[in-house]
Amino acid sequence: MYRAIPAAAFLAALLPSPAGAASLSLFVTTLGASADHPAFRIENTSTDGARIETFSLTIGDMAFNFDRVTNRQRFGVQSSTLTRGGTGQAGQRTDAIAFAFEGFDAGDAFAFRAELDPDSGSGTVDFREIFFSNDGGSVVPNATFTALFSEDRTVTARFQEALAPAESYTLTAGDSGGVDPMPIPLAASAPALAAGLAALWAAARRRGRISG
């Protein structure tokens, strides 16, 4: 007696299983009317246990700068070190800020605020006019964030082009896993696999009749 193996189960065994993803969400908000002091919150939303090891943010429009970084808060993150950009008194004048982390596990979060100023001096500016909607060109690109995860996996994303007026924004980015299995195109492979299964089943039936 031969037991039939459902074709769907056979295909499922051969096709690669979906890999987990290293991913994060970045929330940017004004926290009121202070558009030149935006607040940032990074959340590790990985589904495969990947840790965030470093995070950097580039301002995009180089006619402006990050003047200082304040109000750092860890939510489950063991430690954080500001590796680029200044704190305390104003006058740091950097186009990028960066952090290094220990224990930034999936589900943890980190928050900070940054002061923005024009390069030509100081004054009130709006982060929405600096980070977003610069046409993404090489002359005036949009702001970009990059996170290095464990196993040397990098996730990066540029701020959006279209910008609806709002007080807060959420950006998400992720990869498809540490080691991607070789994909098998289902549309092309399924008929061949089904034909092979049918041939094996027919051969097995013929052998059973001959031996019987």
How far is residue 190's CA from residue 197's CA, in Å, rounded to a whole number?
11
Q: Which of 39, 17, 33 is nearest to 109 (CA)?
A: 39
pLDDT value at residue 51 = 96
* Mean of per-residue pLDDT scores for the chain: 75
How far is residue 19's CA from residue 179's CA, in Å, rounded to a whole number?
8
| Global confidence as pTM | 0.70
Tokens 């558009």, residue?
A: 35
Helix (H, G, I), strand (E, B) or coil at 158: strand
Integer-rounded Cα radius of gyration of the chain = 26
pLDDT value at residue 204 = 57
Which H or E element spans position 59? none
- Asked whether the predicted pLDDT for residue 43 surpasses 70, the reply is yes
Confidence label for 72 from pLDDT (cuts 50, 70 and 90): very high
Most confident of 75-79, 114-118, 158-162, 172-176: 75-79
Q: Identify the architecture of domain 23-174 in CATH.
A: Sandwich (2.60)
- Asked whether the predicted pLDDT for residue 14 surpasses 50, the reply is no
